[in-house]
Homo-oligomer: A and B are copies of this chain.
């Protein structure tokens, strides 16, 4: 058994070229390093260096040992990282969502149900979101379609309907309803983190232009102070009373009227029973 710090010092020497430089890099004295390398040779029972009195250099054995040592050090640090990561994962619930809209409520729900756990969330437009449950990237997902594979368990938790948000002067502002294709070619203000909606808009309106805004508040100001059409939903309107004079016209495409499902691996259903219980209780309303 040879302690790993000897190999670390060997690698430092290989990187630096001289004992003194390596010692400095390692924050130890030169004699200490010199003795360490002697000890390493002794414990291996193999000469690792050519000693030319005032110049120390690796011989063939040493070169080989350095290659192995680099590998071993990598191995160890990756091992440590993985153990820590494994532990961390047990203390966090990662949620992947196709929409940003439910995140705040969902996080506060999880926080209250799983005290002490860290909740980490990501919004993604990736249609393979369900697969990432299987890969353990997420433990919970919010999807806009119910996955049909038997390994998943899911429950509808909310629905949302898309509206185009038009200035009153807009030619289409007094329509009762519109299809996205009717809006193709126009220029829209859009929030950047909108998950699957982004793909939907670009697919249905291939000729439209989108002014994408990272900051939600800035987007609000732009909506207030410009004539570009934008989007909103019933869910948003319920929470944020409309401060503008814009008109919300419902979008009629069926893909724009979605039900969200809370999904997990069936094997983890028990762990998340409280979550599903919550939505079962509230879904009657």
Give residues in A with beta carbon < 8 Å to B: 1-5, 8, 44-47, 60-61, 64-65, 68-69, 71-72, 75-77, 79-80, 82-84, 86-87, 90
Contact = CB atoms under 8 A, between A and B. Distances in A.
This protein's copies in its complex: 2
B4 A1 contact: yes
Contacts of A84: 44-46
A76 B45 contact: no
Given A4-B3, A5-B3, A61 B45 contact: no
A83 B46 contact: yes
A61 B90 CA distance: 10
Q: Which of A60, A82, A86 has the most CB of B within 10 A?
A: A86
A77 B72 CA distance: 11
A20 to B, nearest CB: 21
A3 B2 contact: no
B64 A83 contact: yes
Contacts of A1: 4-5, 8, 76-77
Interface centre among A1, A3, A61, A84 (most CB of B within 10 A): A1
Contact of A76 (B2, B5, B47, B83): B2
A244 to B, nearest CB: 50
Contacts of A46: 83-84, 87
A72 B79 contact: yes
Nearest to A46: B87
Contact of A80 (B2, B8, B83, B87): B2
Contacts of A44: 80, 83-84
A83 B68 contact: yes
A74 to B, nearest CB: 10
A87 to B, nearest CB: 4
A86 B61 contact: yes
Interface centre among A5, A69, A79, by most chain B C-beta atoms within 10 angstroms, is A79
A86 B54 CA distance: 27
